[in-house]
Amino acid sequence: MSPTSGGRPFDTQISRKLLEAAQAMMEERGFSELSVDSITSAANTTAPAFYRRYANLAELAVTVITERFGDVRIGDSGDLESDLLVFQQHEVEVYDSPLVRHNLPALFDMARTHEAIRDFTVNKLVQPRRDRLKELFAAARDRGDIGHGGDDDYACDVLTGPLLSRLLLPLGLPVDDAFVRRTVASAVSELRSA
C-alpha cells in the first residue's frame, strides 16, 4: 500500500518475518503442511497482514524459493559445455535442498489445477531458468559453436527433466558428476543436431 493511499504504511519487517517463518516451516515440514495461521503465528502477525502481501500460500512459497535460489545469472564463459555444467551443478544444489525437495512437488501439483498459481510459478521460478539457458544457447550460436537446427525447448527439458526425476522422485538413484555431465552432453547433442 502506498504511503499516499491513506492506509497503514507497509511494514517491511512483517514481510521479512513472514518469509523467514515460511522458509523454516517449508524446510522442516513441506508445503502441504503450511497454513496461513501457522505462518502468521510464527511471524507474530495477522492473516490480513499476510493477504496484503500474498494472494495465497503458493505465492508465498514460490517467493521463498526464488528469494533463496532465484539467481540464475550463470556467466557466459565462451564455452557452452562448461557453462551448462556450472548451470546444472547449481540446479542440483537447488533441487536437492530441503527447501525445494520438500515443497516443489506439492507446488507443481497445485499449479496443475490453479491457473493463477501456475502462472506465478512459471513466471517466477521456471521461466527465468529456461530463459537463461536460451541466452547461453544463443551466445553459443553467435560464436558458431552450435547450429540453428536444435530445439532449445527440448534441450531445456533434457537438462531439467532428469534432475527432477532423480531428486524429487523417491528413486534413490545417484546425482553425481557423471550424471550431470551426461545431461549436459545430451542437451549439447540436441543443440548440435540438424
Distance CA 118, CA 59 (A): 10
Is the per-residue pLDDT at 45 higher than 80?
yes
Question: Phi and psi dihedrals of 78, rounded to 5?
Answer: 95, 0
Give the CA distances from residue 142 to residues 80, 89, 139, 147, in Å, rounded to whole numbers and listed in that order: 11, 25, 5, 9
Is the per-residue pLDDT at 179 higher than 90?
yes
Chain segment 22-33, per-residue pLDDT in tens: 999 999 999 999
Is the per-residue pLDDT at 3 higher than 60?
no
Question: Phi and psi dihedrals of 107, rounded to 5?
Answer: -65, -45
User: All domains of the chain, ordered by start, with CATH?
Assistant: 3-64 (1.10.10.60), 73-192 (1.10.357.10)
Q: What is the pLDDT, as a whole number, of residue 81? A: 96
Q: What is the pLDDT, as a whole number, of residue 91? A: 93
What is the rounded end-to-end Cα distance, in angstroms, of the chain? Answer: 53
Chain segment 107-149, per-residue pLDDT in tens: 999 999 999 999 999 998 899 999 999 999 999 999 999 998 8
